[in-house]
Amino acid sequence: MEVLEALRTRRSIRKYTRDDVPDSDIRIILEAGMSGPSAVNSQPWHFIVITSRSILNEIPKASLYAQMAKDAAIAIVICGDPALDKIPLFWQQDCCIAAQNILLAAHSLGYGAVWTAAYPLEDRVLNLQKLLGIPSNIIPLAVIPIGRPAEKMKGDKPYLEERVHLDGW
């Protein structure tokens, strides 16, 4: 899939078949996440790949709006390590870029995926740290459930001319 097509057609998919995601595709998706730019090339991310059905079933208890994790084949939790930040607080932006790359890579391979936020919501951060044994100095930013889509979302997002400003506001 061409990059511009992937950007234009990617949608949040919340319903999945139970088809497996092969390890080779998981590797491609993670490589895409790690290919994103980061401030001063700090790469302050860690990724937790969840394939265990019992853990996928527990994710919604830790993060209320991640109910679809129960039906996903896998989930990837993107975590930031502030100690790896070469510029304070840029880990958040760097991990968001990694998350977007993961969403696009999954889509380009024919999977559905959806971003579900953890950080900066303290209860979700603490719940995920507890559930997944994440050290307290590592911050879960988002959970991305991934699987073969059991729904099709259509339509391009609109180009909003009124949000474009040339040479200033």
Report yes or no on 119 lying in a domain. yes
Backbone torsions φ then ψ of 50, nearest 5 degrees: -110, 120
Report yes or no on 22 lying in a domain. yes
Domain interval for residue 92: 3-151
Over the stretch 133-150, which tens digit does the pLDDT of each residue have?
Answer: 999 999 999 999 999 999
Report yes or no on 157 lying in a domain. no
Q: Supply the pLDDT for residue 157.
A: 80
Write the DSSP symbol of residue 84: G
Query: What is the rounded average pLDDT for all residues in the chain?
Result: 96
- Distance between CA atoms of 139 and 89, rounded to whole angstroms? 12
Write the DSSP symbol of residue 70: G
**Both tokens of residue 159?**
């180009």
Averaged pLDDT for residues 127-131: 98
Over the stretch 10-25, which tens digit does the pLDDT of each residue have?
Answer: 999 999 998 999 999 9
Q: Supply the pLDDT for residue 74.
A: 98
pTM above 0.85, yes or no: yes
Q: Supply the pLDDT for residue 123.
A: 98
Over the stretch 27-54, which tens digit does the pLDDT of each residue have?
Answer: 999 999 999 999 999 999 999 999 999 9
CA neighbours within 13 Å on the CB side: how many for 84? 18
Q: Supply the pLDDT for residue 154.
A: 79
Q: What is the domain-level CATH number for residue 132?
A: 3.40.109.10
**Both tokens of residue 22?**
């092969």
Averaged pLDDT for residues 51-76: 97
Q: How many domains does the chain have?
A: 1
